[in-house]
Structures are given as structure tokens and as C-alpha cells.
Chain A
């Protein structure tokens, strides 16, 4: 399985600011994804991070709020902009290590609290 590192693991941010989360994978992967898990909820896909092109966002998520970068096949960042308390969540990076959608692993997650 792929080893996925996320930074920061936890952060407390002031409303109105932004937080950038980094995801580093120990091998080249085609597909990288960003999920959000709000308190007590299940996981919701934010977007697919595409290498060399814009991310593909799911319904309800927009680039202005969640800009994503994917400069190469092992790294991606998610920025959560203009933070509000409703953005307090766990943000998870995941990868499809086989490229076929059949094996999907998660990073350790980034716990964000907005005050």
C-alpha cells in the first residue's frame, strides 16, 4: 500500500484566514483525492486532484473556496479559504494506488478547528 503523509495533522485557525494542507505520497500515483469529514459525519469527496490540470470538483465544492494544486505525481495541496466555523472538519487525502479505482488508501488526516 502507498504511504501517505499529510501536514499539518492538526491546526486551529482564525475565521477569515486560510489553511493549506499538504499531501505527500511515497510513490507516483495517478489519482489523488481530497475528502472532508465533518464532525460525526461520513466522508464526502471534495475534488479529484489532476496532475497538470485543474482539479475536478464535486457538486457543492468550488475552486475559490478549495483551491487545489497537483504539481507532480506524488504531491498535492488543498487550501481551505476564508475559513468559517463550518469548515471545522477532518480533511483527508487519498490515493488510488493501482490506477484502477480498486485500492484506495487514506492519509492520516488534517484536523481543522476554526475559531
Chain B
């Protein structure tokens, strides 16, 4: 059974702080990982993908992958109220995505 685990939250951070979202996956066979943001009433929006161990940065977002620990994280620097959403972690298995349950992030101004 291929699973992706996330803490459902909510994770509350003050405006300007760093939000840290975490995800673990069960199957070492996955090579690609994705972070999606989903606002209430909207479809998921791809934020970042990561395939190699280490960090990948894109603006205020940094994805981190540790394949030995089967761990993926997303850091959001200088968090803004507009970042308040559900963040979905997904692992790719053979061209299919398995999603975690999502972490609710609330950024308080």
C-alpha cells in the first residue's frame, strides 16, 4: 500500500514567519514529489516538484527531499495571509500521484 502522510494541522504561523510543512511516504520506489496548494473551493495548484535529494528553491518556497528518511518538506518564507490554504503533498508512482490528506496552513496578520 503506497501512502503519503501529512499532519492535518491546522498549522498557525504569524505573518512574516517561516511555515514548515512536512510529509512522509511509504514506498522507496517513488522518485518524484510534488507540493500543491489548494484554496477553499478551488482545485489544487502545483507549487513545486522535487526529484533529487537536497533543497530546491523557488521564490519564497523551498522544497526539501531526503530519500533515505522518505521525507519531503516545504518551507514558506515570509509567510503572508494569502498563503493560508491547504497544502497537499504527493508522491509519484508509475505516472500516478498518491496524495496525502493535506495540511491546513493559517497565516495570521
Contact = CB atoms under 8 A, between A and B. Distances in A.
Contacts of B46: 1, 103-106
Contacts of B96: 33, 45, 48, 101
Contacts of A45: 96-98
Interface stretch (B12-20, B56-64, B77-85, B99-107): B99-107
Interface string B74-98: 0000000000000010101011111
B71 interface: no
A70 B57 CA distance: 37
B34 interface: yes
Interface in A87-111: 90, 92, 94, 96, 101-109
Size band of the interface chain B makes with A: 20 to 34
A115 interface: no
Most A CB contacts (10 A, CB to CB) among B43, B46, B101 go to B43
Given A42-B88, A43-B88, A43-B99, A104 B43 contact: no
Contacts of A33: 96-97
Contact of A42 (B49, B95, B101): B101
B88 A104 contact: no
